[in-house]
Amino acid sequence: MEKKERYLVALDQGTTSSRAIVFSADGKIIASHAEEFPQHYPHPGWVEHDPEDILESQIDALKKAVHLSGIDAGDIAAIGITNQRETTFLWDRQTGKCVGNAIVWQCRRTAEIVEQLIKDGHGDIIREKTGLIPDAYFSGTKLKWLLDTYDLREKAAKGDLCFGTVDSYLCWNLLTDRPHVTDATNAGRTMLFNLKTQDWDEELLALLGIPRACLPKVVDSSGLIGMLDPAILGRPIPVTGMAGDQHASLFGQACWQVGDVKNTYGTGCFMLMNTGDQLIRSENGLLTTMAWRIGGRPTYALEGSVFMGGATIQWLRDEMKMISKASESESLAESVKSTDGVYLVPAMTGLGAPWWDMYSRGTLVGMTRGTGRAHIVRAALEAIAYQSEDLMRAMIRDSGRQPARLQVDGGASANAFLMQFQADISHIPVVRPRVMETTALGAALLAGLGCGLYGGMEEIAHLWEKDLEFTPQMDEETRANSMRGWHRAVERSLNWAERG
Give mean pLDDT, residues 431-443.
92
Measured in whole angstroms, how far is the alpha carbon of residue 56 from the centre of its chain? Answer: 21
List, for residues 19-56, the tens digit of each pLDDT value: 999 999 999 999 999 999 999 999 988 999 999 999 99
Give mean pLDDT, residues 42-71.
95
List, for residues 125-150, the tens digit of each pLDDT value: 999 999 998 989 899 999 999 999 99
List, for residues 388-433, the tens digit of each pLDDT value: 999 999 999 999 999 999 999 988 899 999 999 999 999 999 999 9
Comparing CA positions, the residue from 295, 327, 304 lying closest to residue 314 is 327
pLDDT-based confidence at 479, cuts 50/70/90?
very high
Question: Any bridge partners for residue 352, and if so which?
Answer: none
Q: Are 62 and 11 in contact (CB under 8 A)?
A: yes
pLDDT-based confidence at 500, cuts 50/70/90?
low
List, for residues 76-132, the tens digit of each pLDDT value: 999 999 999 999 999 999 999 999 999 998 898 999 999 999 999 999 999 999 999
Q: Are 163 and 145 in contact (CB under 8 A)?
A: no
Which pLDDT value is given to residue 433?
A: 92
Comparing CA positions, the residue from 410, 400, 453 lying closest to residue 433 is 410
Task: Please name the CATH architecture into which domain 3-245 falls.
Answer: 2-Layer Sandwich (3.30)
Q: Tell me the CB-side half-sphere exposure of residue 370, using CA atoms within 13 A.
A: 5
Q: Looking at the predicted structure, is the pLDDT value of residue 231 above 80?
A: yes
Dist CA 208 CA 206 (whole Å): 5
Give mean pLDDT, residues 244-252.
95
Q: Looking at the predicted structure, is the pLDDT value of residue 1 above 70?
A: no
Longest dimension (CA), the chain: 69
pLDDT-based confidence at 3, cuts 50/70/90?
very low
Q: What is the dihedral of CA 469, 303, 111, 158, to 10 degrees?
A: 130
Q: Are 364 and 376 in contact (CB under 8 A)?
A: yes
| pTM of the predicted model as reported, rounded to 2 decimal places | 0.88
Give mean pLDDT, residues 190-206.
97
% residues pLDDT > 70 (the chain)? 99
Query: Under the phi-then-psi rule, with left for phi > 0, alpha for psi from -120 to 50, and beta for the rest, what region is 421?
Result: alpha
54 φ, ψ (degrees, to nearest 5): -65, -45
CATH 3.30.420.40 matches 254-433+465-500: yes
Give mean pLDDT, residues 49-71.
96
Q: Are 255 and 243 in contact (CB under 8 A)?
A: no
Dist CA 334 CA 342 (whole Å): 15
Dist CA 426 CA 424 (whole Å): 6
Question: Any bridge partners for residue 273, and if so which?
Answer: 261, 302
pLDDT-based confidence at 338, cuts 50/70/90?
very high
Dist CA 98 CA 140 (whole Å): 17
User: What are the angstrom distances between the C-alpha of 50 and each of 54, 81, 103, 148?
Assistant: 7, 19, 9, 20
List, for residues 349-387, the tens digit of each pLDDT value: 888 878 888 789 999 999 999 999 999 999 999 999 999
List, for residues 278-310, the tens digit of each pLDDT value: 999 998 889 999 999 999 999 999 999 888 888
Comparing CA positions, the residue from 93, 86, 207, 219 lying closest to residue 156 is 93
List, for residues 444-462, the tens digit of each pLDDT value: 999 999 999 998 888 888 8
Domains 3-245 and 254-433+465-500 share a fold: yes
Compute the mean pLDDT over every residue in the chain, rounded to the nearest whole number: 93
Residue boundaries of the structural domains of the chain? 3-245, 254-433+465-500
**Strands annotated E in 397-461:** 406-409, 430-433
User: What are the angstrom distances between the C-alpha of 171 and each of 31, 101, 211, 218, 455?
Assistant: 23, 18, 21, 13, 25
